[in-house]
Amino acid sequence: MKIAFQGERGAYSENAIYTFFGEDVQVEPRKDLREVFESVTNQKSEFG
């Protein structure tokens, strides 16, 4: 499962993803929320 988030690796939002979904996910950092929404809309990520 791919999950996009706004920020850089190691950000609190990345840690929240692992807490909620577990360690068996792929995380994809994005520059801003617009890129997160585009990633989900274009089906590059399942969640954002």
Look at residue 36 in the predicted model and tell me its pLDDT: 98
Look at residue 9 in the predicted model and tell me its pLDDT: 95
Look at residue 17 in the predicted model and tell me its pLDDT: 97
- Cα 46 from chain centroid (whole Å): 9
Look at residue 39 in the predicted model and tell me its pLDDT: 98
Listed in sequence order, the residues at least 6 apart from 27 whose beta carbon sits closer than 8 Å to its beta carbon are: 2, 3, 4, 5, 9, 14, 17, 18
| pLDDT digits 0-9 by tens, 4-45 | 999 999 999 999 999 999 999 999 999 999 999 999 999 999
Look at residue 48 in the predicted model and tell me its pLDDT: 95
29 close to 7: Cβ distance less than 8 angstroms: yes
